[in-house]
Amino acid sequence: MKVHLLQTLLTLNLFIPTYFSHQIPLTFCGKIPIQTPFSLQNSSQTLPLNQMVLCKSHKLYFRTSIGLFPISSIDYKAKHLTISHKSFSSSSRFISPSNLSAGFPIPPIPNSLFLLNCSNERKIRTSSTFLRNCPLGGEGNLRGFSCLVVDDVGKLDMRFHPGDLNCSHYRRVYRKHGLIEEKEDEFELGTRISFDVPGHVPNPCDECEKANGNCGVGLKCICHPQECRDKVISMGAKMEPMGSKILFSLLSSIVLMDLFMGY
């Protein structure tokens, strides 16, 4: 009798968790809670912003027409999500914060941009209206790198590219708190996307139908789901301080001169 009872309890112990895992909808992706206006892909809800996020291998991503960008947090009270950017990115693979957020409401605190090791002095001088030196308390370890900051990427021309200033790398950042006037404010890595879409505004997808409409890669994915690309974007790039590069170049030149003089 005891053996049969034990077998019954073990069977229930295996069956019940499996049953409820199918009945109770998931409310987290990893450690990030999923609430309205979002839902996970296995949800029966049909919400306008369902296409905006994707949970993949317990990681949450911002969906776009060029690929998936990792989300580090969602603030449901302030109604914005943060796309993480954990390392330097090569300027040759530049993805503008404006292109990610175009078509969504402007966040209360604008997104910014760090431009690293820029060498086109003439264009830097002519771009002084939106460029300045990075604050000493800038995000991350920037010692050994020359750094310029664009305080508000929303004021940049959509065609702007760090390569125009001969910048080697860039970082997408936002202010931790405060306004642009507080020049020494702290920065955090990432880009904030607002999802506070008022109900009385015209359909934002209308912008995606215009030839030069305000439709970024995120909004395009929402409005045209067939154009979403669910491949994770890799933004990392190794970077050495300018001093190391100069020293390496100098040593290389000395070695070549010794070899030449030896002949």
Provide the pLDDT confidence category of residue 16 given band limits of 50, 70 and 90: very low
Rounded to an integer, what distance in angstroms lies between the CA atom of residue 47 and that of residue 224?
15
pLDDT of residue 6: 40
Q: Which residues pair with 33 in a beta bridge?
A: 28
pLDDT of residue 234: 74
pLDDT of residue 248: 38
Please tell me which residue, 259 or 105, carries the higher pLDDT value: 105
State the average pLDDT over residues 188-202. 79
Q: Is the pLDDT of residue 73 over 50?
A: yes
Weakest-pLDDT range from 12-26, 111-125, 227-241: 12-26
- DSSP annotation of 106: P
pLDDT of residue 157: 82
Query: What is the model's pTM?
Result: 0.75
Cβ–Cβ < 8 Å for 102, 204: no
pLDDT of residue 13: 44
- CA dihedral 122→128→133→138, nearest 10 degrees, is -130
Provide the pLDDT confidence category of residue 30 given band limits of 50, 70 and 90: very high
pLDDT of residue 37: 87
Average pLDDT of the chain? 76
pLDDT tens by residue, 122-136: 888 888 788 988 876
- DSSP annotation of 232: B
Q: Do you find a cis peptide bond into 37, omega within 30 degrees of 0? A: yes
